[in-house]
């Protein structure tokens, strides 16, 4: 990490020399927020038929609300980061959670499908900004050699949501009403606001903070390249995940009852990857990113070759979930290359991941439409991982040349 970046992080620290208890409480508050956001983002996928029936639309039409949320994430992250350049981080986190909670609670009372879609877009707006600022706050409270682990602990809320939060919210929505699921997510948002207000000390806006300075991130080629790693390199994970249910039933020949089991294995893999990857990232950020790109190429190719075997399918899905290990490292690298434009760069990372989501699902669906089986999505993922590795290689090469110069 450069001396400039270290100085920036030091100058933007939320609290000075925090105790372990204080760090743990702040991390818990931030992780609860990421748990709520993760639950809210993915719960709709299991409730699409219920939403479609309620509003009298087809299930594919109901799927447009997923795209609306993703669009909100992509648009909201950079815009909010720029407009909130002169806002204290604690205040910004509270504002983001307020919008998120209000958006979900309002979604539960949406009278028409059009209003529901609009509310999902609004609810997605604070997603990226929250994760970006939460990561900066977590990293500012620990020594430099533990930053990736701190970021990973915040993201742990997101990975746990895929394993616990989403299934619970989906079950609640199915036995009661789909609207109850969004009320639950809104409640988590309100609880996060309370925890942040209680445990995160007030901070001050850094001297010199401005919209112009945040926009400076857009002038840095390394910021764009790191976002490119996320947008392209992680598209493969979403390509496989989007059609894993089809792969399970039509390629491996398993019953529909096994689909939740396979999805759970993916969620377990994400949690394992997040914990292990955070520790590896503290040893070597670039080594973790590059190594995981290679790992993804191998595992996704193996997925396509062996998906017809139920045992190998389960193993590969778990390992593909482990590919999440690079995410905390990518988030932290953005802090290193953004210099004094930390908020915009950190928030934009989640815009990049949502682009990866859309790109992976689109390319995977295209391959299936061409007549290939759903197992071929692994090849799509391997190609995207190779491209992500190429972007990473360019980034490292330019960085070395810059240092030599």
- Homologous superfamily (CATH) of 1-209 is MFS general substrate transporter like domains (1.20.1250.20)
Query: Tokens 């806002």 label which residue?
Result: 87
Q: What's the angle, vertex CA 278, arms to CA 276 and CA 283, rounded to 5? A: 100
pLDDT at 263: 81
CATH number given to 216-405? 1.20.1250.20
Instruction: Please answer whether residues 282 and 222 qualify as being in contact, where contact means their C-beta atoms are separated by less than 8 angstroms.
Output: no
Q: Identify the DSSP state of 109.
A: T
Query: Tokens 């434009």 label which residue?
Result: 341
pLDDT at 2: 44
Q: What's the angle, vertex CA 130, arms to CA 328 and CA 144, rounded to 5? A: 40
Which pLDDT tens digits describe the chain residue by residue (405 residues)? 444 444 444 444 444 557 888 888 988 999 999 999 988 887 887 777 788 888 888 766 777 787 788 888 888 888 888 887 778 888 889 999 999 999 999 999 999 999 999 999 999 999 888 988 888 888 888 887 788 888 888 888 888 888 888 788 878 887 888 899 899 999 999 999 999 999 988 877 666 555 666 676 677 888 889 889 988 888 888 888 878 878 888 888 888 778 778 888 888 998 899 889 888 988 888 899 999 999 999 999 999 999 999 999 999 999 999 988 888 888 888 877 877 667 777 778 888 888 888 888 888 888 888 888 889 989 999 999 999 999 999 999 988 887 776
CA distance readout (Å), 274 to 99, 151, 223, 269, 328: 27, 10, 22, 8, 7
Give CA–CA dist 309/291, Å, rounded. 27
pLDDT at 387: 94
Q: Can you give the residue ranges of every domain in the chain?
A: 1-209, 216-405
Query: What's the predicted TM-score (pTM) here?
Result: 0.79
Instruction: Please answer whether residues 209 and 340 qualify as being in contact, where contact means their C-beta atoms are separated by less than 8 angstroms.
Output: no
pLDDT at 210: 59
Helix, strand, coil shares of the chain, percent, nearest 5, are 85, 0, 15
1-209 and 216-405: same fold? yes
pLDDT at 77: 81
């Amino acid at each position: 990490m450069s001396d400039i970046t270290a100085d920036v992080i030091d100058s933007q620290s939320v609290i000075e020399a925090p105790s372990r208890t204080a760090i743990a409480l702040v991390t818990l508050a931030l992780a609860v927020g990421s748990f709520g956001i993760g639950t809210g983002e993915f719960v709709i996928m299991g409730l699409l038929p219920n939403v479609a029936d309620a509003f009298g639309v087809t299930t594919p039409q109901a799927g447009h609300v997923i795209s609306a949320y993703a669009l909100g994430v992509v648009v909201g992250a950079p815009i909010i980061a720029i407009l909130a350049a002169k806002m204290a981080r604690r205040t910004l986190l509270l504002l983001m959670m307020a919008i998120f909670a209000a958006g979900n609670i309002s979604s539960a009372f949406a009278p028409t499908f059009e209003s529901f879609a609009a509310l999902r877009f609004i609810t997605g707006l604070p997603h990226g900004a929250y994760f970006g600022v939460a990561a900066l706050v977590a990293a500012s409270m620990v020594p430099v050699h533990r930053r990736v682990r701190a970021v990973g602990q915040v993201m742990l809320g997101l990975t746990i949501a895929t394993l616990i939060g989403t299934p619970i919210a989906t079950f609640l929505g199915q036995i009661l009403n789909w609207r109850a699921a969004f009320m639950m997510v809104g409640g988590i948002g309100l609880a996060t606001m309370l925890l942040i207000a209680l445990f995160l000390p007030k901070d001050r806006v850094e001297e010199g903070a401005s919209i112009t300075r945040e926009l400076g991130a857009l002038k840095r080629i390394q910021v764009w390249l790191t976002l490119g790693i996320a947008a392209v390199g992680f598209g493969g994970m979403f390509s496989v995940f989007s059609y894993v249910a089809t792969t399970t039933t039509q390629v491996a020949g398993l019953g529909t009852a096994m689909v939740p089991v396979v999805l759970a294995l993916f969620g377990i893999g994400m949690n394992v990857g997040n914990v292990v990857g955070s520790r590896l990232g503290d040893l070597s950020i670039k080594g973790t990113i590059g190594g995981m790109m290679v790992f993804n190429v191998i595992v996704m190719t193996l997925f396509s070759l062996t998906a017809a075997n139920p045992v190998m399918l389960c193993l590969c899905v778990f390992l593909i979930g482990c590919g999440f290990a690079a995410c905390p490292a990518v988030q932290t690298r953005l802090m290193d290359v953004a210099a004094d434009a930390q908020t915009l760069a950190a928030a934009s990372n989640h815009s990049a991941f949502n682009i990866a989501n859309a790109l992976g699902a689109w390319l995977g669906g295209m391959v299936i439409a061409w007549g290939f089986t759903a197992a071929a999505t692994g090849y799509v993922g391997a190609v995207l991982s190779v491209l992500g590795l190429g972007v990473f290689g360019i980034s490292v090469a330019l960085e070395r040349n810059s240092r030599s110069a």
